[in-house]
Amino acid sequence: MFFEQVAEYYSKLESTSSRLEMIDLLTELFKKAKKGEIKSIIYMTVGSPAPPFQGVDLGVAEKLAEEAIATATGAEKAKVEASFKKTGDLGLTAEQFISGSRLRRMSGDKFEINDVLETMLKIARTGGEGSKDAKIKMLANLLAASRPLEARYIVRFALGQLRLGAGDATILEALSKAATGDREFKPRLEEAYNICSDLGLVGETMMRDGKKGIEEFKVTLFNPIRPALAERLPTAEEILEKMHGRCAVESKYDGLRAQVHVDRKSKRVEIFSRRLERLTEMFPEITAAALKEVNADKAILEGEAIAYDETTNQFRAFQETIQRKRKHGVEEMSTEMPLHLFAFDLLYLDGESYLNKKYSERRKTLESIVKGNGTIRLSDMMLVTKPKEMERYFETAIEDGLEGIVAKDLDAPYIAGARKFSWIKMKRSYKGELSDTVDLVVVGYYRGRGIRTEFGFGGMLAAVYNEKTDMFETITRIGTGFTEENMRALKKLFEKIKTAKRPARVESLIEPDYWIEPKYVVTVRADEITKSPMHTAGRHKEGDEEIGYALRFPRIVSNGIREDKSPEEATTTKEILEMFRQQRKTKVGEEA
């Protein structure tokens, strides 16, 4: 497929504010793909030249892209820079300069989608001395052969700013419709995606081998499995009721979730975050320990990596642990602040998937291959049948400086990529008060006014994630908890993902000064959840009025973005409804 056709569909996707229309457009696009193209189209649509877990970094900064545009069009770099300052979007700048360039290609020349991805991968693999000039040349050659609309999306893709807003669920739904004519096969496609984390591979398999190919999908070492997620409940009584009176309870460590893939024969280890990013080089002590301390030829373990001070027997705060997620100064930090991996699940062992085995069997096998008291240890766990037992365990975890506990259904399989009541978390903030923390997705922001004018940032519009509709529903405007440094940093971050109109997956009755793509997650504390006619979270009809839910007195807990969480891992609409129910129950109890 010529890239020109893909660019035309991207322009239509960019113009729509309807998720259903977005699905229809992607369905048409996927149907037109020739054999061997669907993988490239999907990768490009999600804005990555390869699956995220491969850690492919194009290494194209704005200055490099400006030079490539100037080289491709024969324009002065100063003029390109001036245009960028006006548009705020190098993609639009590239489109303008290609449109006015006398060096433009002949109308009969065309290149295909695979050519674009191949060039991008070459750019990513180019390193060492002279790599900057080589990257400029490759990107400039591609732009020189482009039509204006193609140039817009080539530059945006190179910068990681494609701005199409198509989430995983949207792509899977479109893929189901393209291959089968309806969306009924989407759940099975999602299952395949959950065990390979590669949308391109799922799309290619579906288009090449049909339903049979998807049904035969298997866990593969070094392809990360999308992590299981926990529901939340506030009391031990409610948790045990959900678990039919008996469950395992584990400590909830406030660290970095890590999935460790080990192949002792090839001496290869890969570590992936909960967002499926490669962490291998960042955690050298865990990488080395996996080959020595895991008694298996091949295995996939899941655990929590956390800084732990053995001299004081104390876990360090998350803010300290997160400092280990870095590309530079790794060896020094691993000595200064060594990590331990507290393993809590086994997903694969010596050629066999453990996803469909009961938790009790997975845990027993995990205990047989992880022994000792080294860098890799087992998470604390006990079996409980009474609320008092769970509460005592919970209090002990809090005293040890941990977040709380996670209860697990002894008979449940590992449900990859989903939030189910087979895992239930209870954190300290759930005990009694509703000053609970929630993780929200930023969907817009406000320009600074008054004393904040100089920062160009006055607050943000935030949303929760509705798993059923694959939409982000607004729940609050946040204007407190920011430092001056933080406001400057957030404005700079959000400016790069501003959109001209409301993103298709955002449902909102409120218009911020600037919309942004739903990309970043922040942790927020609030006094309570209230009903609101202004917000769309959990919106429903009450009498003659449409009512949603909002946060009262929201404030940012920490000054940073939660880089370890994707937008789809934010607090869900379902969780907000449950928290509101629990809040009302607590108030009734207090009044009584």
Residue 365 burial by CB count (10 A; 0-12/13-18/19+): exposed, middle or buried?
A: middle
Whole-number percent of the chain with pLDDT over 90: 70
* Residues 385 and 270 placed together within one structural domain of the fold: yes
Is 113 domain-assigned?
Answer: yes
Predicted confidence at residue 141, as pLDDT, reads 95
450 and 409 part of one domain:
no
Of 514, 461, 524, nearest in space to 492 by CA = 514
Q: Which residues, listed in sequence order, are joined to residue 273 by a DSSP beta bridge?
A: 258
Whether 451 and 415 map to the same domain: the answer is: no
233 and 292 share a domain? Answer: yes
Share of the chain above pLDDT 70, in %: 94
pLDDT (mean) for 55-65: 92
Query: Residue 72 has what DSSP assignment?
Result: H
pLDDT at 431: 45
Instruction: Based on the fold, state whether residues 11 and 114 are members of the same structural domain.
Output: yes
Q: Does 16 share its domain with 124?
A: yes
**CA nearest 402: which of 274, 564, 556, 255?**
255
Q: Any catalytic annotation for residue 492?
A: no
In a domain, 193, yes or no: no
Report the CATH number that the domain containing residue 123 is assigned in CATH.
1.10.3260.10
Over residues 472-487, the pLDDT tens digits come to: 999 999 988 888 888 8
Residue 400 CB neighbour total at 10 angstroms = 13
Rounded Cα distance, 169 and 185, in Å: 12
Under the banding of pLDDT at 50, 70 and 90, the label for residue 409 is: very high
The number of distinct structural domains making up the chain is 3
| Domain carrying residue 408 | 229-430
From 131, 159, 187, the end of a domain falls on: 159
**In this structure, what are the phi and psi dihedrals at residue 523, rounded to the nearest 5 degrees?**
-95, 130
Same domain membership, residue 487 and residue 414: no
**Rounded to whole angstroms, how far apart are CA atoms 302 and 412?**
16
Taking a C-beta distance cutoff of 8 angstroms, is the pair 177, 19 a contact? no
Q: Do 416 and 338 lie in a common domain?
A: yes
211 domain residue, yes or no: no
In a domain, 204, yes or no: no
* 187 within some domain: no
pLDDT at 165: 86
Q: Average pLDDT over the chain, rounded to whole? A: 90
Q: Where are the alpha helices (DSSP H) in 160-233?
A: 168-180, 186-196, 199-215
CATH code: domain of residue 484: 2.40.50.140
Of the two residues 332 and 252, the one the predictor is more confident about is 252
Which residue in 252, 298, 425, 427 is the catalytic one?
252
Encode pLDDT of 240-268 as tens digits. 999 999 999 999 988 899 999 999 999 99
